[in-house]
């Protein structure tokens, strides 16, 4: 049976699914080599979006009714508001430099990876653990890819977890 922390995991998966593809808002006017790295990084974010949908579906099936029913609409909980949103005001985002955008994505995905690694010990089924581990491996690849883009453009990596 799911633990009381199931709402936190469910809310996190929903929030992450809505906010994952933030990386593509880069200006690709830099070096051609960096442009290819940016495209590969973008492709990885799209793959991660697909993986996250699969992970969310597996988790909802684990929770069972009413969560896995097609018309389920989760209520807004006070706890859900503690999950940080990756959404940034579009005008603010457009005003950021590529370095600032990449650094923001690097930090955000690094934090997400740290959070998911902590969640791994709380997951109840082997299938869910497997999907979460696969997602974490891909997410680690995304963080490394963003770091590679930053390095190829001559930007320093942000301090903090990687």
| Burial (CB count <10 Å: 0-12, 13-18, 19+), residue 79 | exposed
Residue with tokens 């299938």: 127
CA torsion through residues 106, 109, 115, 120, sign = negative
pLDDT digits (tens, 9 = 90+) for 34-81: 677 778 888 888 888 888 888 888 888 888 888 888 888 876 655 545
pLDDT category, 91, cuts 50, 70, 90?
A: confident
Q: In the chain, what are the domain boundaries?
A: 4-16+35-153
| Dihedral angle sign, alpha carbons of residues 26, 133, 127, 11 | negative
User: In the chain, what is the straight-line distance between the N-terminal and C-terminal CA atoms, in Å?
Assistant: 34
Assess whether pLDDT exceeds 50 at residue 30: no
To the question of pTM greater than 0.75 for the whole model, the response is no
**Which residue shows structure tokens 């985002």?**
93
Model confidence pLDDT, tens digit, residues 114-124: 888 887 677 77
Distances, alpha carbon 16 to alpha carbons 6, 97, 108, in Å: 15, 24, 11
């Amino acid at each position: 049976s799911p633990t009381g922390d199931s709402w936190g995991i469910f809310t996190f998966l929903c929030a992450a699914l809505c906010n994952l593809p933030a990386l593509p808002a880069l200006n690709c006017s830099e070096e051609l080599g960096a442009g290819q790295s940016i495209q590969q990084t973008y492709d990885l974010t799209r793959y991660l979006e697909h993986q996250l949908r699969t992970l969310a579906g597996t988790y909802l099936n684990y929770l069972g009714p009413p969560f896995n029913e097609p018309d389920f609409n989760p209520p807004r909980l006070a706890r859900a508001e503690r999950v940080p949103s990756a959404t940034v005001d579009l005008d603010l985002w457009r005003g950021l430099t590529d370095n600032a955008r990449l650094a923001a994505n690097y930090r955000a995905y690094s934090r997400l990876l740290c959070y998911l690694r902590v969640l791994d010990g709380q997951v109840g089924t082997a299938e869910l653990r497997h999907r979460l581990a696969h997602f974490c491996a891909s997410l680690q690849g995304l963080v490394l890819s963003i770091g590679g883009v930053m390095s190829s453009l001559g930007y320093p990596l942000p301090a903090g977890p990687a």
